[in-house]
Structure 1
Amino acid sequence: MTETLVLTEARPGYRVLTLNRPERLNSFTAALHEALREALRAAAADEACRAVVLTGAGRGFCAGQDLSDRRFPPDATPDLSATIEAYYNPLIRQIRDLPMPVVCAVNGVAAGAGANIALACDIVLAARSATFLQAFARLGLVPDAGGTWLLPRLAGRARARGMALLAEPVPAAQAEAWGLIWKAVDDDGLMDEAHRLAAHLAAQPTFGLSLIRRALDASETNDLDGQLDLERELQGRAGRTPDYREGVAAFLEKRAPRFTGRA
């Protein structure tokens, strides 16, 4: 019987994707990469899906790379850049390019690439017992899966360097205080909060939300003039959508809007 490495649950308006290698803290193998990327592709192709929740089965979100896949002959020289190019970089780009927001619900440890995959999502919730660990320095490696780009922007230069160089776990409450994540919640309320947020996002003008995500990402490298030009372009596109007309009409008529999420 083939193991299902990523569980998919369809909810009204959104999907829950659960990494499903709990016996290995959902650490990544090539097969798990392929299963997650296929689940994300299926979510993007589903017109009824307007948000995604990403979480992990068992007692942890994701421990990063499964090091049992990293056994090399004594005379071999590993080429980790090939793994990055084949698996981690495409996954991060896919998450960032999804046409819908991604809520990550971090249950337990998020370590190495697992931490950075979580931080690449749009809204990150963490159980109070969860921890974020940049474990790379313990192996003589560099933070990957976008870590060196994400950490300074989320936590600031000093904290990013401390996390990367010291490889010490950061508890969820500290991660919230540092701005690494959106919110730390009680363990038993984690998935309830994740479902609440996903249901809310799924009822919003999804195309407009995708433009917001694009603008915020671009602001990391644009100067002010470039960002003002991009805002003008994206606002023009947003204003031509049926959802903008519906939002204005609902406001004037003092009723709840009925967004379609279409361009």
Structure 2
Amino acid sequence: MTDAPVTVERSDAVATVTLNRPDRHNALTVEVKEALVAALGEVGADPDVRAVVLTGAGRSFCVGQDLGEHAAALEADAETAFETVALHYAPIVLGLATMPKPVVAAVNGTCVGAGLGFALACDLRVFAAGATLGTAFSAIGLTCDSGLAATLPRAVGDARARELVLLGRSFTPEEAVGWGIAGEVVPSEDVRASALALAQRLAAGPTLAYAESKRLLAVGLDRTLEETLLEEAVGQARVGRSQDHGGAVAAFLAREKPEFRGR
């Protein structure tokens, strides 16, 4: 097993990015965060990768910031200790949310703090039954980061998001799905395989259309209906000129299965 803080494995057109500190429940040090920023940039820019899985090694997905390292940073200089939010957490979340290809979170275990932010920044989720989820920030006297102030209320509504952030209580995957954090709940031993199968299905699909849909959905709630209609027209025309669309229409008329190549 490699001791790299983040690993990238490729299987056909799917790349699996794994946080690799299983002995520390994939707590996030600067080394891990920098490696994750680099890995997401790498797979995001690779034209041979058409879908991505994000997961954690061992029994946890990610427990958020490594508090030992954070305590040392506070002691060294409290004024600079939180620069990591802009330097690392923001690029990670943006890398997941804006990647021009689908990203599936394989939430194999405990997923709290920034870990929950990363999972919600992904497009789809597969949860391990019995996993512990939570925001966790208020327990250590902090507020949200990793995009949770935007993604959590969008998923569960404003009132529920306030409850989860202010009270900081943990919750189950079943509760998460019931509240609107969409995802499939499977036995823990099946999480990675289920996420990989989902990513493979997406990788065989119209990735250009997926990328355009991600762009539109990311801003749809913040625009007027008129603005959204205009943006949809632009996006539809853009993907409509692709070979994927033309080939899919021809395949439909011929009663054949379309093949999407991302161009």
Q: Bin the TM-score by the shorter chain.
A: over 0.9
Q: Distance in 1 between matches of 2:79 and 2:126?
A: 35
Quote the residue 1:131 is aligned against.
Answer: 132
3-state SS of paired residue (2:71): coil
Taking only aligned residues, the RMSD between alpha carbons, in angstroms, comes to: 1.6
Residue 220 of structure 1 and its aligned partner are, at CA, apart by 2.2
Residue 140 of structure 1 and its aligned partner are, at CA, apart by 0.9
Quote the residue 1:30 is aligned against.
Answer: 30
Question: What's the % identity of the aligned pairs?
Answer: 39
For 2:128, give the aligned amino acid: A
3-state SS of paired residue (1:213): helix
* Corresponding residue pairs, total: 262
For 2:160, give the aligned amino acid: R
For 1:184, give the aligned amino acid: V
Quote the residue 2:149 is aligned against.
Answer: 148
Q: Distance in 2 between matches of 1:254 and 1:216?
A: 30
Q: Does 1:113 align with 2:101?
A: no
For 2:34, give the aligned amino acid: E
For 1:216, give the aligned amino acid: L
3-state SS of paired residue (1:71): helix
Residue 94 of structure 1 and its aligned partner are, at CA, apart by 1.4
Post-superposition CA distance 1:106-131 (Å, at most 9, x none) = 01111101111111100011011112
For 2:18, give the aligned amino acid: T
Normalising by the residue count of structure 1, what TM-score does the alignment of the two structures yield?
0.95
Cα 1:78–1:260 shift into 2, 3 Å: same
Q: Distance in 2 between matches of 1:13 and 1:191?
A: 16
Cα 1:77–1:8 shift into 2, 3 Å: closer
Q: Is the 8 A contact 1:26 1:57 kept in 2?
A: yes
Residue 74 of structure 1 and its aligned partner are, at CA, apart by 5.7
For 1:260, give the aligned amino acid: R
Q: Distance in 1 between matches of 2:92 and 2:124?
A: 17
Quote the residue 2:70 is aligned against.
Answer: 70
Quote the residue 2:45 is aligned against.
Answer: 45
Residue 78 of structure 1 and its aligned partner are, at CA, apart by 4.3
Q: Distance in 2 between matches of 1:142 and 1:26?
A: 21
Q: Distance in 2 between matches of 1:112 and 1:62?
A: 8
For structure 2, the 5+ residue unaligned runs are none
Residue 79 of structure 1 and its aligned partner are, at CA, apart by 3.9
Q: Distance in 2 between matches of 1:80 and 1:237?
A: 43
Residue 48 of structure 1 and its aligned partner are, at CA, apart by 1.3
Q: Is the 8 A contact 2:18 2:54 kept in 1?
A: yes
Question: Which stretches of structure 1, 4 residues or longer, exceed 2 Å deviation after superposition?
Answer: 71-81
Q: Distance in 2 between matches of 1:222 and 1:99?
A: 21
Q: Is the 8 A contact 2:108 2:192 kept in 1?
A: no
Residue 77 of structure 1 and its aligned partner are, at CA, apart by 3.2
Residue 135 of structure 1 and its aligned partner are, at CA, apart by 0.4
3-state SS of paired residue (1:204): coil
Deviates more, 1:233-242 or 1:77-86: 77-86
For 2:57, give the aligned amino acid: A
Q: Distance in 1 between matches of 2:219 and 2:241?
A: 21
Q: Is the 8 A contact 1:119 1:181 kept in 2?
A: no
For structure 1, the 5+ residue unaligned runs are none
